[in-house]
Structure 1
Amino acid sequence: MRLFRYNSIYMEKVLSVKNLTKKFKRVVVNNISFDVERGNVYGLLGPNGSGKSTTFGMLLSTINPTSGDWFWFGKKGTDPETLKKIGAIIEQPNFYPYLSAETNLKIVAEIKGTPVSRIDEVLNTVKLLDRKKDKFKTFSLGMKQRLAIASALLNNPEVLILDEPTNGLDPEGIIQIREIIASIAKQGITIIIASHLLDEIEKICSHVIVLKEGNSIYSGRVDEMTNNQGFFELKADQNTILLSALEDLQWFSSVSAEGDIIKAYIRDDASVSASALNQKLAEKGIYLSHLAKKKKSLENQFLELVKNNN
């Protein structure tokens, strides 16, 4: 189940990207456009080399675009005042190893011009308050990443940008980062995450922008990534009769047997509930020993998108 879901209360655009392009020796980002609405968690999804980090670099004005525009909070480009509203982690955390977490954050607060009074609050958000006196060098990779998120929250940003926040972490560290992102999102902070991990985007994000070789091939709600209506998994004592009955119903775009399980994919123009299907089959004298309605995983939907855009 996704940790954060789309909230229809928030509709204001905090970011609007228009035809953004970057060429080095080749085109790295190719004419992409998307919007980010306040209060949601967005995923910038794509394999390594798809243009995610370059896109972030342009939006934060560390990389000059070849062409295109973007608007933060309705204002074109990224000026120093806009940056004060954004917290970002683009590279590996860079803290002093022999200083404590608290002292490292005091240095960051001084650089950012933010009050040190927020240090305990942000450490508590990332579940490191009890380790604030410990030296950075004693932290695990996951703890270092959480301290980096704390530093990005010091200026109380309206938008948080995270580039591959779970990269290299063990399963426990991934779960901790996921929970922290969910708690930050509940505060109303808009979050944009770059990741190549489909599972993480599916669990964390409400919206997704899919990049392939610098091209945006999808932008929208995660749960509307395709028009897929889902599918049923079914099993009966006589699967051959069941298979034939499902084909006769004409509710499905395809019906196939995979071992002793039959999968029936619902047509895009059909609306079928499990109870309605069970009743219809019972009328034909077919009684099911297994019936489950499922949606295609984000991974399958992503692979279909990529395949269709070859």
Structure 2
Amino acid sequence: MTSAAVADRAVVEVRGLTKAYRRRGSPPLVAVDRVDLTVRRGEVYGFLGPNGAGKTTTLRMLLGLVRPTGGTASVLGNAPGSRAALEATGAMIEGPAFLPYLSGTANLRVVARYAGVDASRVAPALESVGLAERGDDRYASYSLGMKQRLGVAAALLKDPVLVVLDEPTNGLDPAGMREMRTLVRGLAGRGHTVVLSSHLLGEVQEICDRVAVIDHGRVVLESSVEEMRGGSELVVRATPSDVARDTVAALRGVEDVRLRDGVLAVRVPEAQTADVTSALVGAGVAVTEVRRSERQLEDVFLELTGGPATGGGDRDA
């Protein structure tokens, strides 16, 4: 695809985006360091990284809530925070905040009034997140999952082109997380472009089309989920394992061999599976298992960042 074609489809374009905070008597704290990323129209784009990596700060800059120190950003062809950009953007940053004594419907009417949105948009927004039957209940009676969904409903009041969600499943139980994943995929199915931040590898792997991995303020990789995972791996149990590793590593077409706890993980085209088995048998290695396994996003994350994504929300500076 040409750069022009990508630009035509881009909803968000970020180049060299940087945010540094001054600290008295200390060097500046660089929260976001020369970030580049592109969000294409109609996709679910995951912003993946551990706590403090810079995800929330980046989203705030895209919404005009934080002024960048350097770099450029474009949201729907406009400056972040501009009226044109905000009119076509809905967002939930750092969890929803509503008046507890009002109903879900009444809360959305308040939001609509301040956003300059007709009150007729409230009912469709509640319907889109599965809260139509609970709209008249007080917000204080809502479960955490319902509160999160109401936050998404508020983001949808303007029927936005772009929906920005900061850790939308944070604090939810497994059932609530499943509901939120279904909701996000449904938004994309209805033509919205979704950008979400997350520290949950499984969540990103299940619902995102493309992912940017951010660590210590820097994007270390931007790719589709499938490209990041790099296809399937061949799992081999064989004895002695060190001989098996050296035998497989010498084969043509083998891209990578890792030995972990006596098990080989081999990146090799599926068509060469029989070649691997034959080579091991020919080397006098006892083979007890050969199977294909999908490489998980967690493996890629560990390789890129040197550590796991941890629990809790990303509330960086």
Question: TM-score category by the smaller chain?
Answer: 0.7 to 0.9
Instruction: Check conservation: 2:126, 2:135, Cα contact below 8 A.
Output: yes
**1:233 aligned residue:** 235
Q: Is it true that 1:13 corresponds to 2:7 in the alignment?
A: no
Amino acid aligned to 2:19: K
Whole-Å Cα distance in 1 between the matches of residues 271 and 232 of structure 2? 11
Amino acid aligned to 2:71: G
Tell me which moved more, 43-52 or 117-126.
117-126
Secondary structure of 1:104's counterpart equals helix
Q: CA deviation at 1:9?
A: 11
**2:223 aligned residue:** 220
Q: Percent identity?
A: 35
Q: CA deviation at 1:264?
A: 4.2
Instruction: Check conservation: 2:201, 2:298, Cα contact below 8 A.
Output: yes
Secondary structure of 2:191's counterpart equals coil
Q: Is it true that 1:188 corresponds to 2:187 in the alignment?
A: no
Q: Is it true that 1:300 corresponds to 2:299 in the alignment?
A: yes
Whole-Å Cα distance in 2 between the matches of residues 247 and 29 of structure 1? 39
Aligned counterparts, 1:282-297, within 5 A: 290-297=289-296
Q: CA deviation at 1:200?
A: 1.1
Secondary structure of 1:169's counterpart equals coil
Return 5+ residue gaps in structure 1 as ranges. Answer: 1-7
Amino acid aligned to 2:301: F
Instruction: Check conservation: 2:235, 2:266, Cα contact below 8 A.
Output: no
CA deviations over 1:250-300 (Å, ceiling 9, x no partner): 4433264746xx534124xxx233775599589979998754212321111
Tell me which moved more, 205-214 or 291-300.
291-300
**2:315 aligned residue:** none
Q: Runs ≥4 in structure 1, deviation > 6 angstroms?
A: 8-11, 281-289
**1:34 aligned residue:** 37
TM-score (norm 2): 0.82
Aligned counterparts, 1:259-298, within 5 A: 262-267=263-268, 271-273=269-271, 276=274, 290-298=289-297
Q: CA deviation at 1:77?
A: 3.7
Change (3 A) 1:172 1:111: same
Change (3 A) 1:16 1:254: same
Instruction: Check conservation: 2:11, 2:41, Cα contact below 8 A.
Output: yes
Q: Please give the root-mean-square deviation of Cα atoms over the aligned residues, in Å.
A: 3.0
**2:83 aligned residue:** 80
CA deviations over 1:30-54 (Å, ceiling 9, x no partner): 1111111000011111111111111
Count residues in correspondence: 293
TM-score (norm 1): 0.83
Return 5+ residue gaps in structure 2 as ranges. Answer: 23-28, 308-317
Aligned counterparts, 1:107-118, within 5 A: 107-118=110-121
